[in-house]
Amino acid sequence: MRVLLIEDEPEMARALGVRLGRSGFIADFVGGIEEARAALQCHHYALALVDRRLPDGDGLELLPEIKRSQPGIRVLVLTAFHAVSDRISGLDAGADDYLAKPFDLDELMARIRACLRRSDVESVPPATLGALSFDFVTHQVSVNGVTLVLHRRELALLEALMRNAGRLVLRDQLHEEVYGFEDEVQMNALNILVSRLRKKLEEFNAGVEIHAARGIGYMMTKARLA
């Protein structure tokens, strides 16, 4: 699940990025409003964490645009402004929650989980292929009803392939889906990740196959009967 972190303090952004990564999220860090606009054009995000005091303006200015460009995204405002009037203005601007700095990281993660549980858009039914099921809302993966636990990048890769089942997904698109802006990606990292995911799916008898178009991309299909 991808998160957009709009925060101009590098140390804060790094700390949040590490914690989000440990919780299974892929976090993209940007330091201002214009960078955030560019990121929103490139990726779909489940959640945005927005600081208010940014170098190029108040983060609240961006909230209507975020909600308009990505319906269903949840927005949590993080700010040093503590007054009740500030919290009210944040919520009125479209924030789903508002947390004043300094805050406890455990509380932040709890608020993120609560935000993501809420949904004001039509629920997307789980996708099934072979014996494999992927829930795009909860990001739960199961094979014949048995939960399959995956690393966050394996999960992001599987989501991209399941959304495009039966169609070739280009390597560049998969890189954008799986890796964050700050990730240092080795040349063969995607090949290794695909191999790892393929092995896990085979071990669980998921009934799917991941086909490689050398140098172009990958496609997931239902496994052919022997």
For residues 208 and 129, the answer to whether their CB atoms sit within 8 Å is yes
Helix, strand, or coil (residue 73): coil
130 pLDDT band (50/70/90 cuts)?
Answer: very high
Give start-end residues of each CATH 3.40.50.2300 domain in the chain.
2-117
Q: Where in the chain do CATH 1.10.10.10 domains reside? A: 127-222
pLDDT at 121: 46
Residues 16, 143: contact at Cβ < 8 Å?
A: no
Type of residue at 98: Y
User: CA geometry: angle at 42 spanning 39 and 44, to 5°?
Assistant: 90
Domain over 2-117 is classified CATH 3.40.50.2300: yes
* pLDDT tens digit sequence for 32-51: 999 999 999 888 888 999 99
Name the CATH code of domain 127-222 (choices 1.10.10.10, 3.40.50.10600, 1.10.10.60, 3.30.70.1230). 1.10.10.10
